[in-house]
Structure 1
């Protein structure tokens, strides 16, 4: 089947996903230097993971005390603006919640309903004024076990149950309130003033709550995202919706937003390599959204819900195939992923496997390069996580220190570690692959996918430019063929690692 690539405000080149301090060991200025030196010509854009105050809260910056303030340890807005002069920047708009340590919520705890910020936060009573029934509670879609409410004491011996979708330190915002809309609008304006070009709407699917619904990606949620997207577009920014959900739901969501993640791709590539069978991946690539960002790894885990069955409907993989996929990851990682996944390590999201993608593939340089090649040839704009770029292994020391499962794939690096990583044969091959993806105009053309079983061919054609990736897992054959104005070049992926 053939598809035309979807247009975007962003260049159709490889982007970097990174924490500022965890990659550089320093600040935004150091990241800018890195991008212009060791990483020159690699990334047209950068997704800056939360750089707001504080970067070291209970959820690595996704629980901002002040969403409009750059953490002073990283720099200031002027440094972000300067970084954005040469690279398209993506920033997280944490739509659903803010920190319980914020000045706004502390004022609510001090003054109760008299606080000017009372309407900024969502309570159970606002959504269920007559009380929450058992049936209504069962309808609510949950990303984690337990209640989605936390009780807080207020003045005059009163208390209130606030929505805390993720953790008790992340208080949900009432985005329908005037003060809630003003809060989000203020952040958008600051982003636009400082060269942010794309906004990742973090946890947007949970932003709207309505009694008698799942409170997740309901019709009113789409209306909210539409409105927020229009506001961003007027300021010269595009939005990326971060949703983990059933694959058919993802397809429908993609029709109504600027960009979505292709979260089904990472587990399907692993399944293909583990089973030597591309059939499920080929099926997905014939129906997957084309207005997407592709990833293999991110600051979160490897999603499973995106490929599984739901409510009696079949998934891209069966439950037995998913069980085998997860078990193979655990085996390949020597059991390290099991120590970081599910209830084993204080995880918020139980539908993800926490492990570096490199360890999920048993630290196989060849298998990992295959996976990256498939990602780069799949429809969408590719993003590469800093740990994945450098083929970092599971950080068991950090996991032991924090007991936060996702920290297994959130390493802190210093200059010496970075210099050593860049010399790895895999990293050199990866950089060559990135430059190939960036320089070939075929990827702005028409995509097609063919194959069956152990073989797959991903191809792009744009006027006189063609790019074709052919892989046979049984024969260990993996070749990229590039054609420009009738002249062809063959690149053997195994030789890239030599």
Structure 2
């Protein structure tokens, strides 16, 4: 992906229907995107955790297509795919073989058992210290063929069996998956749930020094396979700072909460504070398939955050008000935590459907350094899919709408999506984005973000109290000023 490029984040089945359909969109109305992160398309893509519980992590689900379809997408743009580091499905061939044959299985040692972490037994204090993003303890008992019950680690769901990432059998498995991804045309690997992968008694086992060492090791494996490394961790912002030098890319999950705070308070100082210290090698997002990241901006483990606890609570409260209380129902509070670490709502819904506020946030996302990534529901201006949530009971499904072809076509004609595609076009094509980034807080409480390269300049000015934004562009072809969503959408109509 170029320094100007923008990535799309999407499920193939929910945007396009399958890999061929997704490719048609990327080669057609979404051709401006320089890359795409295809959310799990492995076998099966529609398991208990929407593909993050692979039975066969090295195989494309035949209902979506095959590796040839992935390679066809990769011919014209970068492709990111997930390496699910922490676990596999309980229905995987490896886990079934281990239950059947025990110590005689080639997979013996691949899965993390209770006694591997606590060979002498764990105390109540040690067991309850583990951080888990869902209610309950992280163990599940499975019966082996010999009748013996084995207590295995299941950090997320009982059907997601944790790997013993220190064991050679698990390392060999991860290498096999990496080989399949490389051969399939994948250029960037996202390490999913890596923060939970190493269990260390006496700690909460989330992003510990032992975890960071494993990140170094798995990153070396990915790079040795010829791909870039993106790490996904929702944690205190200092964790992103610690990981950034070890890998190619980290996420900026703090920006969404800071923007929501700014729009709620009419201030921009916290965003400016973050711009001074955030990693430049960031994938910049506002929303993802997991919701709107917010915990990264708050305090944690006795350390102050970019926002205080009260300010974080106010962000949640405003989102709940904007969604008529729906975000509070859909969002999950992790065990022993006071607040959710993600808001389950579409970003537009969290802003009460305010298109100007929404495009202001998107413009900031595309102006700051890093590699911006747009989630497919956000691109199409989606609001909460309450019906899907009601049907599945999964709060994250409010932001995982399945778009049939007619809805995609209609969304592409709306002012919000046309304006957003124009922002993508500016970011992709304007020469200023090859150069330096600068920012300042003006005396009138507005924030200016400026990109310059030679004689080219792209300046974004935002006011969060109104809200309002203005874009000034200058290059060899001349200069122009775009004020607000209607002007931006009209520019997109002309370009289209």
* TM, length-normalised to structure 2: 0.94
| CA deviation vs aligned residue, 1:65-93 (integer Å, no higher than 9, x gap) | 00001000000111111110001000000
Q: Among 15, 26, 47, which residue is 1:23 paired with?
A: 15
Tell me: higher relative CO, structure 1 or 2? Use CA pairs within 8 A at least 6 residues apart: 1
Equivalent position of 2:313 in the other structure: 323
Q: Is the 8 A contact 2:291 2:342 kept in 1?
A: yes
Match of 1:367 in 2: 357
Q: 1:397 to 1:475 in 2, by over 3 A?
A: closer
Change (3 A) 1:96 1:474: closer
- Deviation digits for residues 121-180 of structure 1 (CA, Å, limit 9, x no counterpart): 111111111111223224322222311111111233321111111111110011211111
How far apart are the structure 2 equivalents of 1:477 and 1:11?
Answer: 27
1:22 counterpart SS class: coil
> CA contact under 8 A between 1:144 and 1:350: conserved in structure 2?
no
- Taking the aligned partners of 1:78 and 1:188, their CA distance within structure 2 comes to 17
Please name the residue that 2:493 is paired with.
none
The whole-number CA distance in structure 1 between the counterparts of 2:402 and 2:131 is: 34
Contact 2:134–2:332 (Cα < 8 Å) also in 1: no
Q: 2:367 aligns with which of 353, 360, 377?
A: 377
**Does structure 2 retain, via aligned residues, the 8 Å contact 1:202–1:241?**
yes
Q: CA offset at residue 287 of structure 1?
A: 0.7
Q: CA deviation at 1:309?
A: 1.0
* Structure 2 residue 415 is matched with structure 1 residue 457: no
Contact 1:51–1:70 (CA<8 Å) still a contact in 2? yes
Q: Does 1:51 align with 2:41?
A: yes
Give the alignment of 1:303-452 within 5 angstroms: 303-342=293-332, 350-451=340-441
Provide the residue aligned with 1:276 in structure 2: 266
1:194 is matched with which residue?
A: 184
Partner of 2:5: 13
1:476 Cα deviation after fit: 4.7
Could you say which residue in structure 2 is the equivalent of 1:4? none
* Residue 284 (structure 1) shift: 0.8
Counterpart in the other structure of 1:98: 88
After TM superposition, give the deviation of residue 234 of structure 1 in Å. Answer: 2.8
- Cα deviation, 1:390-431, whole Å, max 9, x if unaligned, reads 001111111011000000100111111111111111111111
Distance in 2 (alpha carbons) for counterparts of 1:469 and 1:74:
40
Cα deviation, residue 307, structure 1: 1.0
Comparing 400-409 with 172-181, which one deviates more in the overlay? 172-181
CA RMSD of aligned residues (A): 1.9
Structure 1 CA distance, aligned partners of 2:405 and 2:477?
44
Aligned length: 485
Residue of structure 2 in register with 1:5 after alignment? none
Structure 2 Cα separation of the partners of residues 485 and 35 of structure 1: 29
2:226 corresponds to 1:242? no
Cα offset for 1:298?
0.5
**CA–CA distance in structure 2, aligned partners of residues 10 and 162 of structure 1:** 43
Query: Structure 2: where are the runs of 5+ without partners?
Result: 491-496
Query: Does residue 206 of the first structure (1) align with residue 196 of the second (2)?
Result: yes
- CA deviations 1:44-71 (Å, max 9, x no partner) are 0000000000011000000000000100
What is the rounded CA distance, in whole Å, between the counterparts of 1:75 and 1:12 in structure 2?
Answer: 30
Give how far 1:238 is off.
0.3
Q: CA 1:336/1:135 → structure 2, altered by over 3 Å: closer, same or farther?
A: closer
Instruction: Give the 3 Å change call, closer, same or farther, for CA 490–242 of structure 1 in structure 2.
Output: same
Q: Distance in 1 between matches of 2:421 and 2:317?
A: 31
CA contact under 8 A between 2:265 and 2:465: conserved in structure 1? no
1:350–1:108 Cα change, 3 Å: farther
> 1:242 Cα deviation (Å)?
0.2
Q: Identify which of 473, 478, 492 aligns with 2:469.
A: 478
Name the residue aligned to 1:3: none
**1:150 and 2:140 are equivalent in the alignment:** yes
Does 2:478 align with 1:492? no
Cα deviation, residue 211, structure 1:
2.6
Does structure 1 conserve the Cα–Cα contact (< 8 Å) formed by 2:264 and 2:315? yes
- The residue aligned with 1:131 is 121
Q: Structure 1: state its 5+ residue gaps.
A: 1-8
Q: Is the 8 A contact 2:114 2:151 kept in 1?
A: yes
Q: Tell me how far apart the structure 2 counterparts of residues 296 and 88 of structure 1 sit (CA, whole Å).
A: 20
8 Å CA contact 2:38–2:81 kept in 1: the answer is: yes
Structure 2 residue matching 1:20: 3-state secondary structure: coil
Alignment of 1:295 onto 2:285? yes
Q: 1:338 to 1:213 in 2, by over 3 A?
A: closer
Q: Which residue is equivalent to 2:222?
A: 232
Give the whole-Å Cα distance in 2 for the aligned partners of 1:223 and 1:12. Answer: 32
> Would you say the 8 A contact 1:117–1:179 is kept in 2?
yes
- Distance (whole Å) between structure 1 residues aligned to residue 301 and residue 291 of structure 2: 23
* Residue pair 2:458, 2:471 contacting (<8 A) in 1 also: yes
